[in-house]
Amino acid sequence: MNIILFEEFPPQNLIPAGDFRAHHIAKILKLSVGDKFRVGVINGVAGVGTIKTLSSEGISFDFQAEDEPRELLDLTLLIAQVRPICMKRILRDATMIGVGRIITFTSDTTERSYAKSKLWSSGEYYKYMVDGAMQSGETGMGELLLEDSLKSVLEKYKWEGKVVLDVVGENPSLATIEELSAPSVLAIGPERGWSEAERKLFRESGFQFYSMGRRILRSETASVAALILLLGQLGHL
């Protein structure tokens, strides 16, 4: 964690002893009374916390505001449902990178039970996004949206710049992209790839097809690599 984040600051700025953030401050960072740490509110102000007390009740701190939240990237990661353990990494890493929106949906080649995972039904996904934001050192955290299918996504949301990764066909390398209008979207499929019906939907919606080479990557690997490459090519890093 490079910043400690809250949805809102706890009463009297006291982090309860059982809170994972208190454990991180005391046991991982090994901070003591008078020590400082970076702290903020999700999608809100960030600043410096100074530890006042360490007790069996928890950790209390003073707060000095320093920074307003920075804008997130005007970029959507459109990611097909994958195994929950893989999706956890995607949510964390995409949030860490700073994408403004993550949309996930059930692809034609996706195992349909993934959409019913407790990752979604219990709200567990949220903690992985918070973890990504805390790793980034920033307070900004984008939104997550769940959709039924690619067709429903393309009917509901509109972008100017549209990129889809696909290993099928003679698609140019993503490393050659030079311009992408905002708001933009990067679509990444499941490890079994897109169906022909989905490729047709992408073409009809004006997506540009690119590849990351001939080898089929894990979805979480492709997501991080493609986001970093795309943002680097477009001068956003």
CA–CA distance, 22 with 89 (Å, rounded to integer): 24
* Close Cβ partners of 170 (under 8 Å, ≥ 6 residues apart): none
Domains 4-67 and 73-233 agree in fold: no
Give 101-141 pLDDT, tens digit per residue. Answer: 999 999 999 999 999 999 999 999 999 999 999 999 999 99
> Using one digit for the tens of pLDDT, what is the confidence trace for 92-106?
999 999 999 999 999
Domain 73-233 has CATH 3.40.1280.10: yes
pLDDT tens per residue, range 29-64: 999 999 999 999 999 999 999 999 999 999 999 999
167 pLDDT more than 80 = yes
> Which two three-digit tokens encode residue 86?
């893989």
Judged against a pLDDT cut of 70, whether residue 237 lies above it is answered with no
Please give the residue that has the higher pLDDT: either 207 or 169: 207
Q: b vs e for 213-235, b when ≥16 Cβ sit within 10 Å of the residue's Cβ?
A: eeeebebbebbbbbbebbbebbe
Distance (Å, whole) CA 69 – CA 46? 7
At residue 236, does pLDDT exceed 80?
no
CA-based torsion, 222, 227, 229, 233: positive or negative: positive
Residue 205, CA atoms < 13 Å, CB-side half-sphere: 25
Q: Which CATH class is domain 4-67?
A: mainly beta
The token pair that represents 30 in the structure block: 């090994």
The string of pLDDT tens digits covering residues 177-218 is 988 999 999 999 998 899 999 999 999 999 999 999 888 889
Domain spans of the chain, in order of start:
4-67, 73-233
Measured CA to CA, the distance from residue 224 to residue 228 in angstroms comes to: 6
Q: What is the pLDDT of residue 119?
A: 96
In the numeric block, the tokens 């390398």 are attached to: 173
* pLDDT given for residue 217 in this prediction: 87
* pLDDT computed for residue 61 by the predictor: 97
34 Rama sector, left if φ>0, alpha if ψ -120 to 50, beta otherwise? left
Instruction: At 234, list the tokens.
Output: 């477009």
